[in-house]
Amino acid sequence: MTRSVAATEGVDLLAEPLLHNPQLRVQVAESRSVRQSLILAEVTRVGDLLDYDRGDWLDPLTLARRMGLSRPHIPRRVLQEAKAALPPAARAYLDRVLLKGTPRPPSTPGPPDLLIGPLPRRPNRPPHPFTASQLHELQPVCFQTAPRKHLYTLVLHTLHALTLVSRPETKWRDLLPPLEGEQPQWASLYSTLVPRPVGDISWRLLHGAVSMGTYLARFTPVPDTCPFCGVRKTLAQVYLECARLQPLFQLLTNLLLCFWLHFSPHLFIYALPICSLTKSQDLLVNLLLALAKTAIYKTRERRLADAVSCDCRAIFRSSVRSCIWAVFLWAASTDSLDAFEERWALSEVLCSVSPSGSLCLTL
């Protein structure tokens, strides 16, 4: 058995659902943000679109204020699409209702405010001091207005709570000596300066999700020594301790000293937290760290694939210079060299721009 809006009459038409109604297609209301605004404005039925005092449909400006919007174009689309979706008989009935002022839709209370949050429970294993579980950080939020990412994190960490609570958030907690205040800066791995593929490599490295050949060694005779220095390979050895990395780390040390920062394994792996007062410098430093990790990763992959040895320091310098050149050419074409200097020519550590507008690379 199916029903249609055309068969809905009387007060039932005023209570016809405006949202999630396949018989009353209001396309703009399928947007999650628009739907949420209509719910907060208590406009969820056809009768809620009527202004009985004026004897007309709601004014778009009035509906916009109730929805918390500054412009009326979305409320206007809601009204237009709702009117167009109604059959002629239903439109005629609503016109008679507005003319007489009765009947009005039955008042129904809005949905209650539901709070959703983690329910503490005792783990069956002792928690790790730097646990990967985020349940202790999540606060109860209103279910109707909760961000999608928050709900996803809550469900994910609740389903795997017993596993995550006894696991560190990164493998480097067991590889690096503990230092007070040093913790992974996940939000610093991606920024407006760091390209997405480069940030992905930093994210994988921080998680320890990079190939070390351990699984492949179960099936094929893969050497367990570093192809560069012959030392038994581990995650720390490949990305921190290999002899081939020392020239690169010396270059990073000299660059960071120009920004009054001290290079360390913790800073290299965990990234630099971004502060509002030094945001431009912090973004630039995180870009340098990300490009250095990418140079290490790609030169190692190339050595394993083609047995070709590449200087990761040279690859890093080339990547930084190419990035600066690309941004400079775009800035020169859009007449925004001042913004380029503020972001890339800090203290002229990496580059400078001459009065004539030419680029001088110092790296």
The predicted structure's pLDDT at residue 1: 44
**Residues 24 and 141 reside in one and the same domain:** no
**Residues 219 and 324 reside in one and the same domain:** yes
What's the whole-model pTM score?
0.66
Residue 106 within any structural domain of the chain: no
Helix and strand element counts for the chain (H, E):
15, 6
For residue 267, the tally of other CB atoms under 10 A from its CB is 18
The predicted structure's pLDDT at residue 324: 92
**Residues 96 and 149 reside in one and the same domain:** no
As a whole number of angstroms, the distance between CA 69 and CA 72 comes to 7
Helices 32-40, 73-85: inter-axial angle, 10-degree rounding: 90
Beta strands in the chain (DSSP E): 50-51, 56-57, 115-116, 141-142, 351-353, 359-361
Q: Which of 144, 169, 194 is the last residue of a domain?
A: 169
**Residues 139 and 230 reside in one and the same domain:** no
**Residues 304 and 206 reside in one and the same domain:** yes
Q: What angle do CA 18, 21, 27 make, to 5 degrees?
A: 75
Task: Report the DSSP pairing between strands 56-57 and 50-51.
Answer: antiparallel
**Residues 90 and 22 reside in one and the same domain:** yes
**Residues 341 and 304 reside in one and the same domain:** yes
The per-residue pLDDT string of the chain (363 residues; one tens digit each, 9 = 90 and over) reads 445 555 455 677 888 888 888 888 888 888 888 988 898 888 888 888 988 888 889 999 999 999 989 899 999 999 999 999 898 888 888 888 888 877 776 665 656 778 888 876 655 555 556 776 777 778 888 887 788 888 888 888 888 887 887 778 888 888 888 777 788 888 899 988 898 999 999 999 998 888 877 666 677 777 778 888 888 888 888 899 888 999 999 999 999 999 999 999 999 999 999 998 899 899 999 999 999 999 999 998 888 887 777 889 999 999 999 999 999 999 999 988 888 988 898 888 899 988 888 889 888
If one counts the domains in the chain, the total is 3
Are the CB atoms for 105 and 89 separated by under 8 Å? no
The predicted structure's pLDDT at residue 330: 93
Residue 109 within any structural domain of the chain: no
Are the CB atoms for 122 and 145 separated by under 8 Å? no
**Residues 53 and 157 reside in one and the same domain:** no
Residue 105 within any structural domain of the chain: no
Residue 110 within any structural domain of the chain: no
Backbone phi, psi, residue 116, to 5°: -125, 135
Q: Which of 71, 100, 129 is the last residue of a domain?
A: 100
Name the residue type at position 65: R
Residue 154 within any structural domain of the chain: yes
Residue 108 within any structural domain of the chain: no
**Residues 256 and 330 reside in one and the same domain:** yes
* Residue appearing with tokens 């412009």: 71
The predicted structure's pLDDT at residue 235: 87
Tell me, what DSSP letter sits at residue 237?
A: I
**Residues 278 and 133 reside in one and the same domain:** no
**Residues 46 and 157 reside in one and the same domain:** no
The predicted structure's pLDDT at residue 122: 58
In DSSP terms, 359 is beta-bridged to 353
**Residues 199 and 316 reside in one and the same domain:** yes
* Domain extent at residue 157: 115-169
The predicted structure's pLDDT at residue 129: 63
List C-alpha distances in Å: 314 to 294, 317, 363: 12, 5, 11
As a whole number of angstroms, the distance between CA 296 and CA 238 comes to 9
Beta strands in 9-90 (DSSP E): 50-51, 56-57
Residue 319 within any structural domain of the chain: yes
Q: Which of 100, 125, 158 is the last residue of a domain?
A: 100
Residue 223 within any structural domain of the chain: yes
Cβ-in-10-Å burial (0-12, 13-18, 19+) of 148 comes to exposed
